[in-house]
Structure 1
Amino acid sequence: MLLSFKTELKPNNRQVTKFRQHCGVARHAYNWAHSIILEVLNARETDKTVKIPSAIDLHKRLVAEVKPLYPWYYESSKASPQQALAELRTAWDRCFKKVSKQPRFKKKGASGDSFYLEQGTKTKPGINNDGKRVKLPKIGWVRLHEPLPVTAFHNCVISRKADRWFIAFKCEVEQPVTPPNRPVVGVDIGIKELAVCSNGQTFANLKAYRRMSRKMKRLQRRVSKRLKGSSNRKKASSKLAKLHLKVSNIRKDAIHKLTTYLAKNHSEVKIEDLHVKAFLKNHKLAGAIADCGMYEFKRQVEYKTQKFSSKLTLVDRFFPSSQICSICCNHRHKMPLKVRVFECPNCGNVQDRDLNAARNIERWFEGIFIPERSELAVSSTPVSTGESRQTR
């Protein structure tokens, strides 16, 4: 199976200079082509016969017009500016189809610096990896932060985040062997707990952004007070970027461990097909929902179930899993988010709200009968003065 790897590099100062040079060449080609397309679009307002250049047309013009003026283009790999033009054309195609907004010019020093390298073909890859180092074209052998399978590949992407460099590539690996007779599990994703499984296992939500918010605000104020273009501002921005990267890594680590456990130890994983973009419109919960990484959880479960030969089932988003009793299937009245305990007025079942929803998700199937909502409602008796919060 084809699997992608992304790991950190340990370049020396000379190699970091080469990396930044490749990023600059790719950014220059991207911005140059972007200005060309904007000029063509302005010309099309009066003359519709003007053709929007394709990625191949832009590359031909780049070779004929730009490279002779800037000889430092030849010091970098030719694949980097060529791929930048292809990415720009893809961004404009998405804009024309109204899938995304209009692309913008790339700014020097942004955290999203990256470039593309290619050598050889799919049948005869030219980028070698000996497990501890990788040999990149125009750069040479670069040390890896962690050992990787010894293999060869014909293309890769080098990216930078907070002064740390990463490499991403694809290679063929063997399908992992999984044990037979694995159970089925239903998973309820939430804010209080990252995930609650139908077997009773819970995974805590680390809330990395919330924990680091005070420190992040302090660093943001420090950046805003520094003079633009000064060395102190660059140092403050670097510290802020490292903190953002730390928050992102904590969130990704928790999601990776959760999704690997679900896909590896269960034959079928059932999750709700949540509309995360609609959830983010709730400005009271948008920060907490974004800190959970719900969309990233769904993305990782999709490819990891294929990796471990499992099945992923997306439960209908309108299935009232939180309102149906998992024992007697009674459909009670609506439950606001502040009610964390499910109480069934029919059979007297009392259990955690998320656990009840996870068990309903596990027994869901296409065309399941949803009972009508019961008129019986659990009375909200006021709590006496001497009763503790835990008992309530």
Structure 2
Amino acid sequence: MRKRLKLGMVGGGRGAFIGAVHRMAARLDDRYELVAGALSSDPERAAASAADVGIEPERCYADWRDMARAEGRLRREGRGGIDAVSIVTPNHLHASIARAFLAEGIHIICDKPLTVSLAEALELRDLARGSGALFMLTHTYTGYPMVRHARSLVAQGAIGELRLLQVEYAQDWWSEASAVADGGWRGDPAIAGPAGTLGDVGIHAYQLASYVSGCEPHEIAAELHTFAPGRRLDDHVQVMMRYANGARGTLWASQVATGCENALSLRLYGSRAQLRFEQEEPNVLWLTPQGGAAQRITRGRAASVAAVGATRIPPGHPEGYIEAFAQLYRDAADRILALDAGRTDLSDLPVLPGIEDGVAGHRFIASVLQSHRRGSAWVSLDDARDPD
């Protein structure tokens, strides 16, 4: 009988969208049991939220520091402490919470972005490397079967040498007419960090492009913009990218793109073929060879090991966002159990977004900010540093 992992959660109390998504994802494959949580810093709200999701009162905490210490002690004493913690708080708390649980040897499943700065990301990476614990970052879209199939096709040489890359992530929820025009904590640099749309969805676009293509740019030139008067963080970003092999790329992310819901799309153009994925139709991938007809590849019919391993139901039955999120949790469970069993070679397991992806994302964010402040000058990602 396969062991169900004991999961804790920090953040994600009543009314929190992403916390509920994480809980659904963790439950979908029956690999986790949510047994502890610090779901809110308000004790009454924390208790009510814990009761909502079936956490016993003695495992409900109003302070994540108390939770880390108590659950770590239970682990050391063999009394059923949590195996992993899911961190779903606003950005500025990610690093502090992760440090506390890593110190207890507890595996981390953290919502993106990793931290609020490159320096903090590098510090956390060093700590995670020495902890022996898994650190998984929930870049959701890497869980889609067709994204994994696209990565496999690129690695096999199906598109030839990469020449052009275009990735975009367009939403309209932060438009001036929106009822949430201030953006909540996402519009507050003290909580979200120095990047608005760039750090919220731009980083998803960047990570998706890097994951599928297997390449990261070495230079970028960028412009940030804020359309809404009085807004303190960017709501629109456009980036040009140069790759070491001579390829060129563009990234566009906007949360004031009127009429767009969650329009994340990726197009790769190689010397042999074009590859196209659109998140709003996640069960379809398009491969178009040079001079040939477009091939529509569907989830359930894609034959790669990567796609098959991320597929739950027969062809024609749609899978989507929750299943992609759940795939990350399922893969994390397999990796945690392998680590806890003493395995050192995990190369047979699916590649998961983790601490290195988080650091790469913050290099990108820092470089975009640096380029923007220098009048959209070209900057090297090797020289990335946090704004003063």
Please indicate, yes or no, whether the TM-score normalized by the shorter chain is above 0.5. no
Greater Rg by CA: 1
TM-score (norm 1): 0.19
